[in-house]
Amino acid sequence: MGFLRLASVCAVVASLGVCSAAGAAERPLVIGSQGSFFVGGEVKAVTPPPGASALQRAGDITVNQMYVQYQIPAGPARRLPVVMVHGCCLSSKTWETTPDGRMGWNEYFLRKDRPVYLADQVSRARSGFDPSVMAAVKAGTTPPSALPNIISATHQLSWVLFRFGSSYPNAYADEQFPVQAADELYKQMIPDLNAQLPTPNPTLTNMAALARQLKGAILMGHSESGFFPEQAALIDPTDIRGLITIEAQCPANLTAQQIATLAKIPTLVMFGDHLSDAPTMIVNWQTTFEVCNAFVEKVKAAGGDAQMMHLPKMGLRGNSHMLMQDKNNLQVADLILAWIDQHAERKAH
Amino acid sequence: MGFLRLASVCAVVASLGVCSAAGAAERPLVIGSQGSFFVGGEVKAVTPPPGASALQRAGDITVNQMYVQYQIPAGPARRLPVVMVHGCCLSSKTWETTPDGRMGWNEYFLRKDRPVYLADQVSRARSGFDPSVMAAVKAGTTPPSALPNIISATHQLSWVLFRFGSSYPNAYADEQFPVQAADELYKQMIPDLNAQLPTPNPTLTNMAALARQLKGAILMGHSESGFFPEQAALIDPTDIRGLITIEAQCPANLTAQQIATLAKIPTLVMFGDHLSDAPTMIVNWQTTFEVCNAFVEKVKAAGGDAQMMHLPKMGLRGNSHMLMQDKNNLQVADLILAWIDQHAERKAH
């Protein structure tokens, strides 16, 4: 018995009945270096609540650290890295192999010679979370109301909110999300404990710190984290060379000074399709889009290089909220990569 | 401004004052394919507790899925993949870049032409967890006592339990763990919710299923998951081609039939140093070692190919519980790689 390489890659998505021939035929990836590390983190003293397990003892734990996984292409080129930060109830899996087994943006950007850094938000996935409140509630020393509002979106909610269709499980006629593989997306959806984070959210501070560590980086956020790049820049813009905001809620109340700070950094905002005809479930997409349009105009009015890419206007129709996983995800990536070349990389040199 | 590739790799570990020249000079990695996917997962209907946030609605969520990230070396060789599963209060970060910035086992095994699969245990990291109990306790519909005992080891406990030294923060004279970078290990330590998992632990079922998907795999576990490979084989041994158990607690009460099942699969058990002189904190390492020795002898008596590697007996001294991160971690890896070649790969063909 031996290990059939290509067969096995297909095997893992066999339950979906799909195995991209294009993916299997992809040329080998040549990676200069890869690895993972943490940004930030603070030491916190904890005392064991009554009745705690033997493993729970008085001492210190580390909280608010951000896990980052990176790959840097081989070759002599010095290119700005892209830091990708996922949205609500998701992890960095967002950017990897799509639910139907195609190449994710992490690998595609790398193949286009961009160093890629994937960050799990603080309190999510490999970044861990602070369990102190849960231990105290279990022990009875803190009331249950102190527990955070943990968000874990249901399949039914995600379907409409992510604009796969106007009602579950019906898809829009031109839907680009691979809805036959939606079950694989649901496996990516994990509990979101951001409600228990301090202010400012340590993910923002850590994103700004990461840009400094890298001596220049483009920050990209999506959905919940869509405006995180700008928020990180408002904490410390020093080494942030580009802001990419995908399908986000933009604040309407930024001050002139804040706009002036952001206007020094090239900014791209992107939205998919079905904004005006999506039913409002939590989010009114058309209004959200309009507020982001107004943000872009304010940055431009302040002399900034800001651009709104509304995909239907660029000729790409049917894109969902999860456009990095849509069937045309690499076409969407090409728009971003071209924007980086023309707006962020050029200015960085 | 440009992106200095090698400089940036060093920058991320700059706070430790270390940057491996050897690491920076490493030859490029050539990867045939890489990606991530989930194994397992079940749909669970949830109803929103009173007072839940707008995002919490009646519907379905997915639980008990296992996130797996893989890299397969380029080249025509058909080689058995290695599935690495981390221990308590940790994630797959365990196997990646060491706390002091050296190469982890995931990359080293890959450079030695082994396909590598990293799995986050169910209810941990990118696999997510079931938040239903927490939501119900917060809403007051379930008593606080129903919350799981969440384990998050303190720095002080880890130091002794992981055998960095006999008391915090003093290290053994010959300690191999890079104790100057212990703060970076602490950032890897994240809350462990295994106490709320059903029986059998879905990670075990998913590990056996993964071996089948891969049409043959070697399973490796460490510490909490150290005996998971054998437990997975007791659920379904079909495509499990090797069992690697590192620094684990072996059960003493396996039946003759269970031993007979395991005896069909090559088995390696490994322990580091300072077993007999480590103070007992949660675990008595010498007793633990002896029980595993007895397990190995039982498998051998049943005709199995089982081996105990006690590193001091192999000439490697000072290894900690986190031997995949120790300063001599690649030497330790070489012992495992040679064992795989001689005991698992050979039999698999």
A155-197 pLDDT per residue, tens? 999 999 999 999 999 999 999 999 999 999 999 999 999 999 9
- How far, in Å, CA of B27 to CA of A266, rounded? 35
B137–chain A nearest CA distance, Å: 6
For every residue of A313-346, DSSP letters joined together read: GGT--S--TTTTSSTTHHHHHHHHHHHIIIIIIH
- Residue A5 confidence (pLDDT) above 50: no
Tokens 């139907």, residue located: A100
Q: Closest to A59 (Cβ–Cβ): which among B24, B155, B215?
A: B155
The angle at the Cα of B68, spanning B65 to B72, to the nearest 5 degrees, equals 155
Closest CA to B245 of B218, B264, B263, B283: B218
Distance from CA of A258 to the nearest CA of B (A): 24
Contact flag A33-B14 (C-beta cutoff 8 Å) = no
pLDDT band, residue A78 (cuts 50/70/90) = confident
Q: How far apart are CA B160 and CA B162, in angstroms?
A: 5
Distance of alpha carbon A282 from alpha carbon A273, whole angstroms: 17
Task: Compute the nearest-CA separation of B230 from chain A (Å).
Answer: 20
Instruction: Tell whether the torsion through CA atoms of A161, A167, A170 and A172 is positive or negative.
Output: negative
Token digits of residue B287: 């007793």
Whether the predicted pLDDT of A53 surpasses 90: no
Cα separations (Å) of B33 from A6, A26, A73, B103? Answer: 8, 8, 14, 20
Cα separation, B347 vs B339, in Å, equals: 12
Per-residue pLDDT, B50: 73
pLDDT level of residue A10 (50, 70, 90 thresholds)? very low
CA B214 – CA B192 distance, rounded (Å): 28
Nearest residue to A58 via CA among A66, A48, A67, A68: A48
Using the beta-carbon criterion (under 8 Å), do B137 and A144 form an inter-chain contact?
Answer: yes
For residue B135, the chain A residues in CB contact (below 8 A) are 150
Residue B323 distance to chain A (closest CA, Å): 18
pLDDT higher than threshold 90 for residue A11 = no
Q: Which residue has the tokens 């700005």?
A: A80
Instruction: Report pLDDT for A25.
Output: 53
Q: Tell me, what's the pLDDT at A346? A: 76
Q: Tell me what pLDDT residue A14 has.
A: 39
Backbone angles phi, psi at B199, to 5 degrees: -110, 135
pLDDT tens track for A197-215: 999 999 999 999 999 999 9
- Count of other CB atoms within 10 angstroms of residue A297: 12
Q: Which residue of A lies nearest to B78 if distances are taken between CA atoms?
A: A3
Distance, in angstroms, between A344 CA and closest chain B CA? 11
| Closest in B67, B191, B216 to A93, CB measured | B67
Contact B151 A53 (CB under 8 A): yes
**In A, which residues are within 8 Å of B215 by CB distance?**
1, 3-4, 7-8, 11
Burial of A277 (0-12, 13-18, 19+ CB in 10 A): exposed
Q: What is the dihedral of CA A316, A321, A324, A329, to 10 degrees?
A: -20
- Identify each DSSP E strand in chain A by its residue range: 29-46, 59-73, 82-85, 116-119, 217-222, 240-246, 267-271, 306-310
> Phi/psi of residue A66, each to 5°?
-120, 120
The model's pLDDT over A12-29, given as tens digits with 9 standing for 90+, comes to 443 443 344 344 457 999
Torsion angle, CA of A209/A210/A216/A221, rounded to 10 degrees? -110
ipTM above 0.90, yes or no: yes
pLDDT at B55: 66
Residues of A in contact with B128 (CB under 8 A): 91, 125, 152, 189-191
Q: Confirm if A156 and A281 have CB atoms less than 8 A apart.
A: no
Q: Which of B103, B128, B157 sits opposite A57 (nearest CB)?
A: B157
Q: At what angle do helices A228-235 and A202-213 cross, to 10 degrees?
A: 70
Question: Which phi and psi (to 5°) does residue A118 adopt?
Answer: -105, 125
Q: Measured between CB atoms, which of A38, A57, A184 is closest to B184?
A: A38
A213: nearest CB among B5, B11, B148:
B11
- A69 chain-B contacts, CB cut-off 8 A: 96
Å between A345 CA and nearest CA of chain B = 8
Determine which helix (DSSP H) or strand (DSSP E) holds A18, and give its type and residue range: none
Task: Please give the structure tokens belonging to residue B73.
Answer: 């070396």
Selected residue of B98, B126, B155 to mutate for chain A interface (largest A Cβ count, 10 A): B126
Tell me how many residue pairs between chain A and chain B have CB atoms under 8 A apart: 314
Whether residue B65 and residue A11 make contact (CB cut-off 8 A), yes or no, is no
Rounded to a whole number of angstroms, the distance from the CA of B308 to the nearest CA of chain A is 26
* Secondary structure (3-state) at A22: helix
- Give the closest of B3, B69, B115 to A115, CB-based: B3
CB-CB contact of A266 with A305 (8 Å): yes
Which of B38, B57, B214 faces A184 most closely, judged by CB atoms?
B38
Q: Write down the pLDDT at residue B178.
A: 98
What is the per-residue pLDDT for B144?
Answer: 97
State the nearest Cα–Cα gap between A313 and chain B, in angstroms.
30
Residue A345, φ and ψ in degrees, nearest 5: -65, -45
A63: chain B residues, CB-CB within 8 Å? none
Residue in A210, A299, A309, A301 with CA at minimum distance from that of residue A258:
A299
- Output the pLDDT for position B19: 41
Nearest chain A Cα distance for residue B5, angstroms: 7
- The whole-angstrom separation of Cα B148 and Cα B139 is 16
A93 contact residues in B (CB cutoff 8 A): 36, 67, 126
Give the separation between CA B70 and CA B84, rounded to whole angstroms: 10
Contact, A61 vs B189, CB < 8 A? yes
Tell me which residues of chain B have a pLDDT lower than 50: 1-24
With contacts defined as CB-CB under 8 Å, which chain A residues touch B68?
A: 12
- Compare CB distances from A144 to B68, B144, B213 and report the shortest one's residue: B144
Could you read off the pLDDT of A117-145 as tens digits, one per residue? Answer: 999 999 999 999 999 999 999 999 999 99
- Which of B5, B183, B348 shows the shortest C-beta gap to A72? B5
- Show the CA angle centred on residue B152, arms to residues B149 and B156, nearest 5°: 130
Residue A348 pLDDT level (bands cut at 50, 70, 90): low
Residue A238 pLDDT > 90, yes or no? yes
| Location of structure tokens 């933009």 | A250
8 Å CB contact of A150 and B135? yes
Tokens of B253: 């009460």
Is the Cβ–Cβ distance between B128 and B38 less than 8 Å? no
Longest C-alpha distance within chain A, in Å? 67
How much is the mean pLDDT over chain A?
91
- Rounded Cα gap, residues B149 and B147, in angstroms: 7
List of domains in chain A: 31-348 (3.40.50.1820)
- φ, ψ for residue A282 (rounded to 5)? 70, -55
Chain A, nearest residue to B144 by Cα:
A138
CA pseudo-torsion sign A199, A202, A207, A210: positive
Query: Read out DSSP for B157-217?
Result: HHHHHTTS-SBTTBPPTT--S-GGGHHHHHHH---B-GGG--SS-HHHHHHHHHHHHTTSE
- Asked if the bond preceding B312 is cis, omega within 30° of 0, the reply is no
Partner residue opposite B93 with nearest CB, options A36, A46, A157:
A36
pLDDT recorded at residue A198: 97
SS (H, E, C) B230-285: HHHHHHCCCCEEEEEEECCCCCCCCCHHHHHHHCCCCEEEEECCCCCCCCCECECH
Contact A32 B215 (CB under 8 A): no
Q: Is the pLDDT of residue A285 over 90?
A: yes
Determine the residue type at B32.
G
Mutate to test the interface with B, among A10, A132, A134, A196 (most CBs of B within 10 A): A134
Cβ proximity of B151 and B123 under 8 Å:
no
Query: Would you state the pLDDT for residue A16?
Result: 40
Whole-angstrom CA distances from B299 to B256, B295, B333 are 9, 6, 23
pLDDT at A273: 98
* Cβ separation A213–B55 shorter than 8 A: no
